Each structure stands twice: as structure tokens, then as C-alpha cells.
Structure 1
Amino acid sequence: MSDNKAETRTYKDVQQEYQKSELLKKDNSWNGPNYDWNVDKIEELQSMKMPDLLNHLKEVIAGTLAINNLKLRYQQDTNSFLNDYTGKIDKLEKDFDDYYYGSRHSLEMQFYSNNNTNHLPSEENIDTSDTRPAKVTFFISLALIIISNTVPFIFLILLQVCWESSMQLLYSLDQFYFISLLNGTYHFHNQSHLGKTREFVISIVN
């Protein structure tokens, strides 16, 4: 039996790997040579013979070049991984957008399917260079707002003027009240708006 086991990676695992690769991409000192030039090593170099010192310098240079080449290769692999990863994510998002659009516009999708077209309708940018419709709409809205606020005010003023005129007209007239008819005589009671009371008696002679 094979010892290989299937590994399941969650979305969180993928994001962690992605973050690690981003950090690795930005780290220019990855596995770079680290020299510790203390006194002991300096004395050791000074005590070396010329052939040994040349061999040591060759090894240092070769190691530095190897590390730089390895770092460059890993950077290229990391960039390739990131490009592939982002490309797949973009493709998944595009496929989801197409699916979402198709689920909401089934008739259009059927039309494109019947006409052997594989692309969805393209978006068209709105031309915002012509501002005349916006200006006309703004001034119309402003006029409606002014009218809607002015007309009730004018109506209230006219109503107040009519009310005051009516009251003045009523106060200028006397109010007559018919009281009674007794023995062929009509009695009228007259009261003015000033509170004065007068009585009129009209006799009818047969």
C-alpha cells in the first residue's frame, strides 16, 4: 500500500501560504551571507598563507554567487506562484460574475447561447461631459421647491386679508334681532358692535 496521504487545504491555509510568499518576495536578505569579522577570525586570516587565503576567498565568492543565484531563482518561483495564484482568483471571480449575471438575466443568456456568442454585454461608460440635462433638472427642482414653499405662504396671507376684511365689514353693520309682535306692534332690538343697544317700535294701523 502507498504511504501517500491526501492533504486537504482550507481557504485559511491558502491565505497563510500566500502571506508567507509575499513576505519572502519582499525579503531581499533571504539566506544572504552573514560574516562575523571578529578579532579571532581576522588574526586567523592574517596568519594564513597566500595559497590558503586565495582558496578561502574563492570559496567565499563562490558561496556568495551561489546564494545570490538561489535567491534569484526562488524570487522568480515566488513571482510565478503569485501570478498564477492571482490569475486563478481573477478567473474564479469572473466565472462567478458570469454565473451571477446569468442567474439574474436568464433570457439574455439564452439569447447569447442561441446566437453562439460566449461574451456578456460589455459595460458602456456614461458620458458626463454634457452637463445641460443636469443643470436643467437642477433649476426645475429649485423652482418647484420655491413654488411649493411660496404658494401656501401667499395663500395664508390672502386668507388673513379676507378674514380681516370680513370682520371689518361685519363690525360696520348693526345686528338686528326680531323680538316679538304684540298688539300690532313690531319690536326690534338693535345692538351695534360697540355694545350700544337701541330699540325700535313699529306700529301697524289697520
Structure 2
Amino acid sequence: MDSTLSLNGALYAELTPAGAWYAVSTRDEGSDRQLLLQLLQHGGELALTEARLQQWSTTDSPAQALAVLYRLQRLGFVSGSLTGRSEPAGSLESRLPALLAALSGEGRALLADDNGLYYATAGFRHEAAEQIAALAGDIVSLGRRHARLLNQNLGLGAQAWALIDPAGHAELSFHPLYLGRQSFVLVIGGQPRLGDNAFVAMTEALCRRYA
């Protein structure tokens, strides 16, 4: 199959919300995730070449890199665009509150580091945000202590935690995000909207700084 693949050098590769989630929701260091993280950083600005694709995917040949890209396209993680785009104006700190608000059905979300300190918030007051961020740090620690049970013994791929109502709807959910050596927790009040393009924009902005 690899010999039949060719690269359209006129396209810019961009991630879908599903691709962005796959890229940052695990610590896996496989070639597919490496490529996705690089596309989050540069995909909208740099057109694809075989050399660039091989470097970003850390594969041994252009054919292997094309196979990785093809697989990601088939999964719906990557799409192609005929036009590039520059990095949005404004600092990361100034853009995050609006992006976070778009990820919640109630406009309430915050981003904390894995030490329990909040980085940005939307819809939560400062005092509540501090306490929720501390709780997020505890939940990350809890997940790490029980990772063997959850991931191996029970075979659960998800790492998010949530407080739910009797109908099973999330009232407060905690989503670990991994960008290189830096870890965050995305905390969402109400129903998560991780299928929104704001999630891609947020992960792109974080990857440019931290991945």
C-alpha cells in the first residue's frame, strides 16, 4: 500500500477536534502522535513536504511517514486545506478565556497545571478556580496511582474523570492533557464541548508554547 501513496504538496494539514484530542490525551510517543503534535504547532503555517513529514513523524522513510499520515486521515484526525493561516493575534493568556468558555455548555471552564495551580479560567470566580485547580491536581495524582488498574487490568483508554448527575450528565469533568513534558488539566463545568474547533485552537496555542 505504501508504494501507491503520494503527497499533495499544495495542502496544509490541520487537525480535527478528534485528532487534537488523540494528540494530547495520552503520553504515547508513537509516530502518529508525534506527527499530530507537530501539525498542531506548524500544520496551518507550513505546507507538507515528504522531508518535513518524515521529520515530524520520526519515521525511517518518506513511505512510512506517508503511511502514518494516511492512517490519520482515515481515522478522521487530519484534514487538508488549500490555504495556510498565520498564528492568531494576541497572547496565549489573552485568548484562553474565550476558548475555554466555548468548551462548556455553560461557559465555565479552567485550565490548571498538574500541580494544582490554575492557568486561565472562564466563568469561575478566582476563589473557586483556585480550589477546583487544587482538586484537579489531586485527581491527576489519583489517576497516576491507579493507572495500572484502569489502563491495563480494566482496559480503560479514557483518563478523564467526572462528577455526574443522576441522568449521567457531567456537572464537572477533569481532562488531563499532555504536551511534551508539560501536563495540564482541562476542567469543564457542565456538558463538555470537546468537538468544537475551539478545542483545536486551544491545543494549537498550548503546543506552540509547551510541546
> Scaled by the length of structure 2, what TM-score is found?
0.16
Q: Which has the larger radius of gyration?
A: 1
Name whichever structure is richer in helix by fraction.
Answer: 1
Question: Higher relative CO (CA 8 A, sep ≥ 6), structure 1 or 2?
Answer: 2
Name whichever structure is richer in strand by fraction.
Answer: 2
